Structure 1
Amino acid sequence: MNQDYKILVVDDERDLCEILQFNLASEGFEIEVAYSGEEALSKSIERFDLLLLDVMMGGMSGFKLADKIRKEMGLSVPIIFLTARETENDMLTGFNVGGDDYLSKPFSIKELVARIKAVLRRGKNVEVKPKVITVDTMELDLNRKSVTIDNENILLTRKEFEILNMLISHKGKYLSRQEILDRIWADDVIVTERNVDVNIARLRKKISTYGSCIKGRSGYGYCFEN
């Protein structure tokens, strides 16, 4: 029954990962393991039916990873947090960043399996609607991270797509270069406002007639108007 479900376990405790991989595979799940949030992001997250994320990891935390998956990647894959900490604030943070359940260590495999099955059942009952933003004949598919104009695919880089999405989501409002930098280049150390200008110049060319909808105003930043 469970063999069709793919689960990604993300935890920097290798012994625990080995235990989870063996026991969950015995329950019929297909299991992959990542030992850090950074390694998890190198995988195709959309392939998985559920994620088990450790909260406290070296480098990127489970909360930060979940936030990226929800906000930047736009994925709704169910997430169960695993943590050695059990405070109300931690639980609230977990749910606020898009977690579906929260399980404190140590836990029994039997309880974990029950939680996994419950979350997967809930997910089956939720109608998944495509996230598409439409501006006349231009469509942004937030799930596929793709843009079409008059049904023709427009090839954008990740940064270009995120900038376009951000501007259209705040249509009619000027966003400063710093706001765009903080959102789009949040984890990059060496970036300047020039990065914003260069990416927007390329974006304007790629979206052809809609390029003129991206307005620039000195001292205010950029705005999408049509």
Structure 2
Amino acid sequence: MEKADKRILVVDDEQDLCEILSFNIQIEGYHVDTANSAEEALEMDIASYDLLLLDVMMGGMSGFQLAKKLKENPMTAHVPIIFLTARDTENDTLTGFNLGADDYISKPFSIREVMVRIRAVLRRTAEQNGSADEPKVIGYQGLVLDLDKKTVSIDGETVPFTKTEFELLHLLLEEKGRVFSRQELIDRVWPKDVMVLDRTVDVNITRMRKKVGRFAKCIVTRLGFGYYFDA
């Protein structure tokens, strides 16, 4: 994968530092986004990034707390993290690595040092991924489908789904933003020898919305066309 295909998210409550890092990382050819708090970062599709540069000391949720949350979520556990911090005590460093950090850079730092660390982590991650199977999960933020176990979890809690509900949600998540007509959903989810009415699709979608809690608003009805998952 080329540099331009690598996506990096910088999470730091110092806006000036975010801008400096973003500018210099983009010069190196990477795609960069920024968030000024852990809470803001959680609203983003973190699973789509190849690396996080994460400040430890932030107002509200700390970098350590965010890292713990990400590593506990199967959708984001694979994303490598480099901590950026003014705290460089041995205990803090150990805490970072125990949470699954891939590197730890103490402030103040040089941009050159940051770039060297970024390249090293991305190279190491690419080598590891080359010999490992891709995680067999799909989802959006805290909504996760385990394709091997055929389970659905919401923010870490398993929610019972029927086979049909699971397959419907899998399809909508796999092609986020695409509108599926009722007939397309019937053709791709239900067995060919089963008679299914449009109303059956609507009933399953309604049940599914109730089960996904706060993500119900993401399953959108496009009147006259069908359904889609809005991320």
TM-score interval (norm. to shorter): 0.5 to 0.7
Indicate whether 1:162 and 2:157 are aligned: yes
Query: Contact 1:21–1:32 (CA<8 Å) still a contact in 2?
Result: yes
**Correspondence list, 1:48-67, <5 A:** 48-67=49-68
Structure 2 counterparts to residues 28-107 of structure 1, below 5 A:
28-74=29-75, 75-107=77-109
Alignment partner, residue 132 of structure 2: 128
Residues 1:146 and 2:145 are matched in the alignment: yes
Deviations 1:125-146 (A, max 9, x none): 1133345xxxxxxxxx555421
In the alignment, is the contact (CA less than 8 A) between 1:21 and 1:31 conserved in 2? yes
CA distance in 2, matches of 1:130, 1:26: 30
Q: Equivalents in 2 of 1:82, 1:35: separation in Å?
A: 13
- In structure 2, do the counterparts of structure 1 residues 148 and 122 end up closer, same or farther at CA, with 3 Å as the change threshold? closer
1:147 and 1:89 map into 2 onto residues whose CA distance is: 35
CA distance in 1, matches of 2:159, 2:90: 37
State the percentage of identical aligned residues: 53
Aligned length: 155
Distance (Å, rounded) in 1 between the aligned partners of 2:153 and 2:78:
22
TM-score normalised by the chain length of structure 2: 0.60
2:157 maps to a residue whose letter is: E
CA contact (8 A) 2:85 2:105 kept: yes
The aligned amino acid for 1:96 is N
**2:167 corresponds to which residue?**
none
Uncovered stretches (5+) of structure 2, i.e. residues with no partner: 161-206, 212-231
Q: How far apart, CA to CA, are the structure 2 residues paired with 1:20 and 1:65?
A: 20
Amino acid at match of 1:83: T
Q: Which runs of 4+ in 1 moved over 3 A?
A: 141-144
1:108 is aligned to 2:110: yes
- Aligned letter for 1:158? I
User: Aligned in 2, Cα 1:109/1:157: closer, same or farther, shift over 3 Å?
Assistant: same
* 1:29 CA drift (Å): 1.0
Q: 1:147 to 1:79 in 2, by over 3 A?
A: closer
Letter in 2 for 1:59: G
CA distance in 1, matches of 2:54, 2:137: 23
Q: Is the 8 A contact 1:130 1:143 kept in 2?
A: no
Gaps of 5+ in 1: 132-140, 166-201, 207-226
Contact 1:70 1:98 in 2 (8 A): yes
Task: Report the AA paired with residue 146 of structure 1.
Answer: L
1:162 to partner: Cα distance:
2.3
When the two chains are superposed, the root-mean-square deviation of aligned CA atoms in Å is 2.7
